[in-house]
Chains A and B, each alone.
Chain A
Amino acid sequence: MIKIENLSKIYNSKGNSVLALSEVSLSIEKGEFVSIVGPSGSGKTTLLLCMGGLIHPSRGKVTIEGTSIYDLDVKNRAIFRLRNLGFVFQTFNLIPYLTASENVQIPLALAGIFDGGQAERATELLEKLRLADRLDHKPRELSIGQQQRVAIARALANNPKIILADEPTGNLDPDMTRETVSYLKLLNQTGITVVMVTHNPGAAEYSQRTLRLVEGRLRG
């Protein structure tokens, strides 16, 4: 499903080169729930963003469902993301001036699904995440946990095959952490592949496999 071969990423900044990933190779099967753990600055997010087609690696190849995503041009990579991937971020990254429902509708609009199907789909997803009474609330009117659930609903809008979650519990209290990871587990049980970057060992326990990244290299 996801195949990473000899992936390296070097950041060049102000004359300095920083090796974020070094010769990382791994394979994630369809329907797996994989956690990537490691200390801060170990390259976890870089690896996740490389998987999501958001960072062009310095070397190596990322293949998802048989498609080498960095062989696609920018536009087609965006379309690929839209159809196959769902992102969940630590800080949720909801659009502040749109309501919960509208935030969930954005991926649908980008996919060309317009009025009619959009609102129903958003409502359906938000209801499943127990946000039926928050459809018309803006992010600032929602609790942290509610915002994260809206972000998960947005990631699910286009029925992605893979969810890429970057520290999804980083800003949550223990109860909400449990709830969020449980929900990701639930999604995984429906057949969605979940790759989660976390520094929370408790959250990582929900996954089937844990990859440890240290200084840009996979360990153990």
Chain B
Amino acid sequence: MNLRKIILKELLERKKQFLTSFIAILLGIIVIVAVKSVSSSSEKAVAIQLDNLGANILVLPQTTTIDNYYAADINAPEMPEDYVERIAGSTIQGVDNMSPKLSARIKVEDYPFVLTGILPKNELASKPIWQTAGFTDPGLQVACNPNPIINRSRGYKDPKLQRMAIDSLGAYDCLAGSDVASKLSLKEGSGIKIKGTELKVARLLPQTGTVDDGRIFVHLHTAQKILGKGKVINAIEIMGCCSAISEGLLGNLRNILPDTKITTINHIVQTQVRTNKTMEKFSLIFLIIIILVGGISIGNYMWSNVEERKREIGSLLAIGASPGDIYYIFIGKALILGLTGGIAGYLLGSLAGMILGPQIAGVKVLPIPLLFIWAVVIAVGVSVAASYFPARKAAKLDPALILQEI
């Protein structure tokens, strides 16, 4: 016999009362874990989607439209190249990669193409599809870490921001999009003349199904020379962390470059981030509910338990139990309630997330081990906090008043 055994025996004796509080805390934890699992998996899914899309933020001159940009209008407004340095030199968090571009429509052998000046390694880093096609530099690094799994799988070693442009594309080398290659019958090593400048095709790009297929990529500074422009660009494509975008990356960029137009390339970010934020809010609401409803339920249960066991407490004190022993009995009971509620809530919540995730958010949901700690900490915390005052009352009960049988 020991105090722990007394706690367990009492729980088994009055299991119906225990079950009510247990269910209250269990349901709360199930909902929190399920919502959190789904929202977390959804965030990961967004991160993967964005990563596959490449850049997700566009910095354009103020007067440019998205259509101008995609059409590579020769008269499209330009902006200074040193805007790239301005972002790079800032303390903004969440800029994963920047690819400054200068694009213009050109004709080669009467075929209309788009000549695009790029800073090559930055460009490659922002285009996973190119990397998978064999363009990857193993030294490539990304800035933030929207999804550690993706970065690990890519072999990125250092999560630090690589802000500085790296120039490794030869001054007279070019990369030809798949449409360009097929129309001009280009092979690697072929020559191509653009506006009187002889270029060598260093690589043929794989088909992407995007406007890139009709582009000829050259070094940015070469493009500036061919097009007779100075140190200007007409776009900066930025790969930003999904979470950083939702936390105000666009606003921060606008502060640095007030005379530009900054927009996200896709709507997925906003829609999905909105969904994730809603789920986050739900998590918070359920957390408050569990604290209120679960806490009140457990508190009520403990108060009535103390009332019901007054005579027992008096007997134990008379026998020689100290107030600390009585305190231990009630807080120990709260610990059991919290632990069992937290563990069962985590297991059932994870299961609910796995079942509901594909239906609600269209994502595959796997159990998140970190949530186990949170579930147990919340359940135990609520249970112990709600039981503190009843336990204190029990420990301070006057045995004489309870035992007096006059």
Contacts and interface: CB of A to CB of B under 8 A. Distances in A.
Interface of A: 40-41, 44-46, 49, 52, 54-55, 74-75, 78-79, 81-83, 85, 87, 89-91, 93-98, 102, 105-111, 114, 118, 154, 158, 166-167, 170
B46 to A, nearest CB: 53
Given A41-B406, A78-B321, A79-B322, A109 B1 contact: yes
A11 to B, nearest CB: 9
A183 B405 CA distance: 22
A79 B400 CA distance: 17
A83 B319 CA distance: 10
A87 B2 CA distance: 20
Given A46-B404, A93-B315, A97-B10, A105 B323 contact: no
Interface string B291-334: 00000000000000000000110111111111111000000000
B166 interface: no
B206 interface: no
Interface residues of B, number: 31
Contacts of B399: 49, 54
Interface string B375-403: 00000000000000000000000111001
B400 A55 contact: yes
B67 interface: no
Contacts of B137: none
B13 to A, nearest CB: 4
B316 A106 contact: yes
B6 interface: yes
Contacts of A85: 320
B12 interface: yes
Binding site secondary structure of chain B: helix
Contacts, number: 100
B12 A45 contact: no
B3 interface: yes
B312 A95 contact: yes
Given A75-B323, A89-B315, A102-B1, A97 B13 contact: yes
A54 B403 contact: yes
A109 B2 contact: yes
B380 to A, nearest CB: 24
A49 B1 contact: no
A44 B404 CA distance: 10
10 contacts: A45-B403, A46-B400, A49-B404, A74-B323, A79-B322, A81-B318, A83-B320, A96-B312, A110-B316, A154-B319
Contacts of A89: 315, 318, 403, 405
A166 B319 contact: no
Contact of B1 (A44, A45, A105, A170): A105
Contacts of B316: 95, 106, 110
B274 to A, nearest CB: 53
Contacts of B86: none
B42 to A, nearest CB: 48
A49 B403 contact: yes
B104 to A, nearest CB: 87
Top 8 nearest A-B pairs (CB, nearest first) are A82-B320, A97-B13, A105-B1, A93-B315, A55-B400, A78-B322, A109-B1, A81-B320
A82 B319 contact: yes
Contact of B320 (A111, A167, A170): A111
- Most A CB atoms within 10 A — which of B2, B316, B398, B400? B400
B405 A97 contact: no
Contacts of A94: 315
A196 B221 CA distance: 107
B3 A109 contact: yes
B9 interface: yes
Contacts of A40: 406
Contacts of B10: 97
Given A45-B406, A54-B400, A97 B321 contact: no
A177 B316 CA distance: 25
B273 to A, nearest CB: 54
B9 to A, nearest CB: 5
Contacts of B400: 46, 49, 54-55
Contacts of A97: 9-10, 12-14
A98 B9 contact: yes
B197 to A, nearest CB: 92
Contacts of A96: 13, 312
B7 to A, nearest CB: 11
A93 B312 contact: yes
Given A45-B404, A75-B322, A110-B319, 7 more contacts: A49-B400, A79-B322, A85-B320, A87-B318, A95-B316, A96-B312, A97-B12
Nearest to B11: A97
A93 B404 contact: no
A91 B406 CA distance: 12
B317 A110 contact: no
A109 B320 CA distance: 10
- Most B CB atoms within 10 A — which of A83, A91, A94, A97? A97
Nearest to A41: B406
B9 A110 contact: no
B406 A107 contact: no
A110 B6 contact: no
Contacts of B322: 74-75, 78-79
A52 B315 contact: no
Nearest to A138: B13
A77 to B, nearest CB: 9
B319 A81 contact: yes
A106 B317 contact: no
Nearest to A74: B323
Interface string B8-31: 011011100000000000000000
